[in-house]
Amino acid sequence: MVGKEIMNIKNRIVCCSIALVALPVLESLAGPADSSVGLITTFDYPASVLSTQPQKISDQDGVIGVIIDTIGASSAFVRFPNGHYSAPLVDPPGSGNATQGRGINGSLMICGNYTDTSSGLTHGFFARGATFYDYDVPGSTFTVVLGLNNANDFCGSDIPASGVQSGFVSIGGVVTEFTVPDATVTLAYQINSSDQAAGYYIDVNGITHGYYRDSDGSIVSPIDPAGSTGTIVFGNNDNNTIVGRFADSAGLTHGFVFVPPDTYVTYDFPGSTFTSLNGINKEGSIVGRYLDNSGIEHGLFARFTSATGRPTGGTIPQRHSAPVSPAQALPANPAVAPAL
């Protein structure tokens, strides 16, 4: 009897040992965690508007964006880190000009663009508080300022003397215009602390693709999630984690995050046919928007969690030297209004 009990104890010890040895194997089979996007909350500008369209988020969680009111007029707005909102912002104040807030930095300097109702021309602007400073790239007939960093370097899009809509970066007061190879239109949407600028371009077939311009001036493109029929890149952070949206062949629009060189993460707001991720800060906090079933757009906050997982579906962008002159010169090409 005693011998039998000893044998049972030995069997239990052996079984436990096998189970303990198997645990690392099971963890290995499960594989590394994948990167993910998780919803934090939604929000709306506190007034009667048809659309709340957040565009960028600062490292302190200040948000810049655009609101569309019930008559279709657009104004800029700021959502401060404490959750309070600015009044609608219009450049010049009281003019009624269509005004779009595009970028924000840690000192609450904002940037954007407006269209003059009298001339029809589009100009860039900077603002702090209620004071606006207009900006046009010298020699340009069209300027939009789409992003800025904490050093007050900025980026955007303009039409220079070549007549081809180009991206530009202003770093330390020096403006450099550039185009993505084989692009007819190039727009730079955000510049990070390493002077990497991200945005999108339009190819000769009229299709949009994402790209980023590295700090050495080289272009990395195209950025296209799997199934994309058109990709818009809106922003990057200090880690060069990139956010945007893409359309698919079924007519649905999805938000996405791209981590160079080859990782894509797709995000859809539950039940929505349209999701856009527009800005990301160094902590991985994201702002964007979604469309509800009644046709109203709402802002959203989300969080990107990076993990060392397997690469996910999408084009692996390649590095190119920035062309000295546009590869596809179309002098008669009209200005392309930047996507929101």
Render pLDDT for 271-301 as a digit per residue (tens, 0 to 9).
Answer: 999 999 999 999 999 999 999 999 999 999 9
pLDDT at 250 (0 to 100): 98
Using a 10 angstrom Cβ sphere, with 0-12 exposed, 13-18 middle and 19 or more buried, the burial of residue 33 is exposed
Distance linking the first and last C-alpha atoms of the chain: 80
CB 91 within 8 A of CB 79: no
Listed residue (249, 244, 240) closest to 306, CA to CA = 240
pLDDT at 58 over 50: yes
Quick check: 339 pLDDT over 70?
yes
pLDDT at site 322 = 64
Q: What is the CATH number of domain 32-320?
A: 2.120.10.30
Rounded to 10 degrees, the C-alpha dihedral 31/35/36/37 comes to 180
Tell me what the mean pLDDT of segment 75-96 comes to.
93
Q: What is the pLDDT of residue 14?
A: 39
pLDDT at 117: 87
Average pLDDT along the chain: 88
pTM recorded for the entire structure: 0.88
Residue with tokens 């048809």, as numbered in its chain: 50
Per-residue pLDDT reduced to its tens digit, 156-195: 999 999 899 999 999 999 999 999 999 999 999 999 999 9
Please report, for the chain, the start and end positions of each structural domain, with discontinuous segments joined by +: 1-31, 32-320
pLDDT tens per residue, range 299-330: 999 999 988 766 678 999 999 986 544 444 44
**176 and 156 Cβ atoms separated by less than 8 Å:** no
- In terms of Cα–Cα distance, which of 55, 117, 62 is closest to 84? 62
CA distance 28 to 16: 19
**Strands (DSSP E) along 21-97, which ranges?**
36-43, 49-57, 63-69, 74-79
Average pLDDT of the segment spanning 138-149? 96
